[in-house]
Amino acid sequence: MFNDVSISLPAKVRGPEAEEEWQEVDWVTWSTGTVTVDSESFLIVFKPTGAGSVKAKPLGNMIRAAAVGGTDEKTLIVTTSESMHRTYRMTFPTSEEASEFSAIASRAEVAANDAASRTKETGDVESGDATRLEHEIRAHFVERCPLVFGGAELYGPDPNGEASSEVLLGRGVMMILDPQEDNKRVGSYELAFFSEDEGVEKPSLSFAIAPEMTLSRQDADEEADSDAPVTFVLQAPTMAAHSVCFEDQTTAASFSRDFKVRSKLMDLSLKTLRGRAVAQGLRGELTSLKQRSLASRIWTVLSWGLLIAVLMVTGRAVHLYSENSQRPPAEYVSVIGQDLANTALLSASTTTAVGAKVCQITFGTVDRDGLRQCTRATTVSGMRQCLDSLTGYAPVLGHSFHEGM
């Protein structure tokens, strides 16, 4: 990472002309910011200083870099694979940083020459297209760090034929894209296939890595070479089966590992969610049972109390009728009402007396009538004996009271 790098663009000359004639080019300062270079693809990414939420801009894959010469040891002319601005002028804060960047550029130039030689010797145009597509995908999703797996062939149901038939859907790159950083939830992991024919703008096939999605490797033929392509079958409950074939076994192993890690994470997330739902349902049922149980008990007590009251009233009416059957019904009702009132008063007085006794035993309270008797004592000793009897120190209240009198 290189900070405080000033980048300038050609004012008039574009493309290859700027690369060949950069000494005669008028440069216009574009911006100052941070420059990062990928160690494998040599993709240059630039983010202006103080840009805030502005996305970082990919500047293409570095091909070479040259010093401007003279006394300026901090400025380099950088050539990339970017189609619009192929050449950039970068000025670093120190000559040491410029030398470090120049060393990376030397490795990038060697890698670019090797790739060009292989393409020229073998005529493998498709390999060059796949490599370029990988770089374009990394540049397009630079802020989400995509996992890119090149040299892939995708097979699936024929869009224009029977669903059971399997045809080649395209050659290109498989990509796994992790969710944006969010510590509060797992997020969604995306799996996409980009065809060399359609490019990076729109994936040929894209879906989320869902729970219960499986990736199984097809058994290789016993007579197949050890470097034979590796084929996986991708299945899910909500989608038709697809086959993914990788030319390179190392790439295939990396794809299988990264996919299964995310698939297991989604399975675990679903299991946790189901466990929470079951626990919440059980808590709701338990609360409902408790409420029904309490309401049932209250209803039972009220029902029995009402039944007993009806039986008592009926029995009292039969008793009154047996004593004198000539009374008018209104008189029976009056007598029964008076009995009910007396019963209520008796219950209230009994409850009050029991409560007072309980308070006296529990909290040591003193009866008010007994206290009034103690105040009538004429001597101090008599009053003390009376109070002792109220508080439990004298055996009999009457003895103390008479002695005081």
Render pLDDT for 39-57 as a digit per residue (tens, 0 to 9): 888 888 888 887 665 567 8
Does one domain contain both 164 and 234?
A: yes
Structure tokens at 301: 């007590």
Does one domain contain both 105 and 180?
A: no
Q: How high does pLDDT run on average in the chain?
A: 77
Give me the mean pLDDT over the 338-364 stretch: 69
pLDDT band for position 97 (50/70/90)?
very high
What is the pLDDT, as a whole number, of residue 276? 77
Structure tokens at 280: 């919440």
Does one domain contain both 157 and 117?
A: no
Which of 132-136, 270-274, 289-293, 296-300 has the weakest average pLDDT? Answer: 289-293
The answer to whether residue 94 scores a pLDDT higher than 90 is yes
What is the pLDDT, as a whole number, of residue 7? 92
Residue ending a domain, among 228, 243, 273, is 273
Does one domain contain both 43 and 93?
A: yes
Sheet holding 205-208, edge to edge: 205-208, 190-195, 166-177, 147-157, 239-246, 230-236, 214-217
Beta strands 230-236 and 239-246, pairing class: antiparallel
Structure tokens at 129: 């297209």
The answer to whether residue 398 scores a pLDDT higher than 60 is no
Domain enclosing residue 62, as ranges: 1-123
Supply the pTM of this predicted model. Answer: 0.43
The answer to whether residue 170 scores a pLDDT higher than 80 is yes
Does one domain contain both 74 and 147?
A: no
Q: Report the share of the chain in percent with pLDDT over 70.
A: 74
Give me the mean pLDDT over the 135-160 stretch: 84
What is the pLDDT, as a whole number, of residue 403? 44
Q: What is the CATH number of the domain that holds 79?
A: 2.30.29.30
Does one domain contain both 88 and 197?
A: no
Say if 138 falls within a structural domain: yes
What is the pLDDT, as a whole number, of residue 282? 77
The answer to whether residue 21 scores a pLDDT higher than 70 is no
Give me the mean pLDDT over the 331-336 stretch: 80
Say if 356 falls within a structural domain: no
Say if 334 falls within a structural domain: no
Give me the mean pLDDT over the 186-190 stretch: 76
Does one domain contain both 5 and 56?
A: yes
pLDDT band for position 404 (50/70/90)?
very low
Say if 240 falls within a structural domain: yes
Does one domain contain both 116 and 217?
A: no
Say if 194 falls within a structural domain: yes
Say if 319 falls within a structural domain: no
What is the pLDDT, as a whole number, of residue 368? 65
Residue ending a domain, among 105, 123, 141, is 123
The answer to whether residue 224 scores a pLDDT higher than 60 is no
- What is the total count of domains within the chain? 3
pLDDT band for position 213 (50/70/90)?
confident
CB 4 within 8 A of CB 32: yes
Does one domain contain both 13 and 153?
A: no
What is the pLDDT, as a whole number, of residue 356? 64
Distance CA 305, CA 214 (A): 65
The more confident residue out of 15 and 277 is: 277
Report pLDDT digits (tens) over 369-397.
666 677 676 676 777 777 677 665 544 44
Say if 257 falls within a structural domain: yes
What is the pLDDT, as a whole number, of residue 392? 59
Residue ending a domain, among 256, 273, 290, is 273
CB 165 within 8 A of CB 240: no
Does one domain contain both 177 and 111?
A: no
Say if 383 falls within a structural domain: yes
Does one domain contain both 105 and 137?
A: no
Does one domain contain both 137 and 51?
A: no
What is the pLDDT, as a whole number, of residue 353? 64
The answer to whether residue 365 scores a pLDDT higher than 70 is no
